[in-house]
Amino acid sequence: MDLVYRSTRNGEETASASEAILKGLTSDGGLFVPDTIPKLGIELGKLADMSYQEIAYAVMKEFLTDFTEEELKDCIKNAYDDKFDTEEIAPMVKAGDAYYLELFHGATIAFKDMALSILPYLLVTAAKKNHVENEIVILTATSGDTGKAALAGFADVPGTKIIVFYPKSGVSPIQERQMITQEGENTYVIGIRGNFDDAQTGVKKMFANEELGSKMQEAGYQFSSANSINIGRLVPQIVYYVKAYGDLLKNGALKEGEPMNVVVPTGNFGNILASFYAKQMGIPIGKFICASNQNKVLFDFFQTGSYDRRREFYVTSSPSMDILISSNLERLIYRIAGNDPKQCAAFMQALTTEGAYTISEEMKDQLSEFYGGYATEEETAEKIKDVYEKEHYVIDTHTAVAAAVYDQYVEETGDKTPAVIASTASPYKFARSVMEAVGSEQEDASDFELVDELHEISGTEIPKAVEDIRTAAILHDTVCEVDEMEPEVKKILGI
């Protein structure tokens, strides 16, 4: 039987998996959630001997139930191929007392590749299944990594255009250069004078704008999203947590049925929500350790039960986490509210109009599996240096936030359950911050000179994604105010 997807804000709005992928957001600005989280249909012990592609199929077939076996396997085969620079997709490295799940070996050297490699194939297949003749316009806000990964995934994909908005002063130089040098006749990149939350809010407003939707329909277009608000982004992220459990079984760190903990550097809450869904599928996970940087809105939420975005916004060395509105948290709120769309909608309305909401004690009690922590800029830099000096292993700033919070968790709880840290980006993507942390003396060095120094001290290959942008031409130079986002989209589409 096909799994039904429902709006977090309106129980009457339903969709099949392919319809939910096509729409991205629900018509009322909510998110699609499955009526139930399906169980993994294989024994845990078999995971140790399965390839990434085999695990991907085992997970995705349970969620994407209106895709045929042939369709889904074809999407997986095209997504998880030689575009990854390691033979094993998402290898695991033990450093100190933790296991780092390296999710950055794809085309854009960030974990977003794990899902955005397959989303274009899922979307094009979904369009065919639903007899969609409109051109699909992927409209996305990015805090740094989603943008490039989505651009790379959708570049020159027939029947699509992709428009990415990013905070002009809120991403690393390497991240920005990756985006503004992106080739593809159907790609558009626009910097905004604002932060990621401004960009994300602007995108959500366009999705909810019925007048804009009508004009697009008349012109033969329809929106979809490449953010993790799209269920087609979220489901593929479940896969690597299932794979991580298989890895721990394979290397003897766990016996079948024993739990692992997961530690996730968290901004928009999609990645850690994927691990939560993995547990609902049957993967034994003890604690979800939610790591924030100085923009610690999620830490405060787990401490108090109040989500309050009315606070100072910090630009940090881990920009993909510089977020005050964690969109995917809505899916968890819906669940702990007893799948009550009216209650969830009321919370989200309060967040929009008042800037905050507070959950009930009964709801808060359901969050006992989550541990919230945060790392300051100083703690993040110290952790990069510490791991490098002790393990000769270099991690990026986001992974360092997670590692620092994991240290706090162990010190506070004494819990030595084997822990998987989601290593979400290559250190080369944040070479300046990483090299400053390990003690580079090249104060006036360019970002690419620091890339070369990182290569020398780490003994790792410079990723092709970085080499390719050294001399690449800048192809996108548009910058706009937040209130000019919609006019820019209309200009691109000629409507």
What's 54-77 look like in SS3?
Answer: HHHHHHHHHHCCCCCHHHHHHHHH
Query: What pLDDT does residue 369 have?
Result: 98
Low-confidence ranges of the chain (pLDDT < 70): none
Query: Which residues are the active-site residues?
Result: 112
Query: What pLDDT does residue 444 have?
Result: 87
Cα 95 to Cα 101, 104, 172, 405, distances in angstroms:
11, 17, 26, 15
Query: What pLDDT does residue 440 have?
Result: 87
Rounded-to-integer distance, Cα 324 and Cα 65, Å: 34
Nearest alpha carbon to residue 368 among 276, 439, 282: 276
Beta carbons within 10 angstroms of residue 477's beta carbon? 9
Query: What pLDDT does residue 230 have?
Result: 92
Cα 265 to Cα 122, 155, 326, distances in angstroms:
26, 28, 13
User: What are the structure tokens assigned to 149, written together?
Assistant: 């990964």
Rounded-to-integer distance, Cα 358 and Cα 366, Å: 14
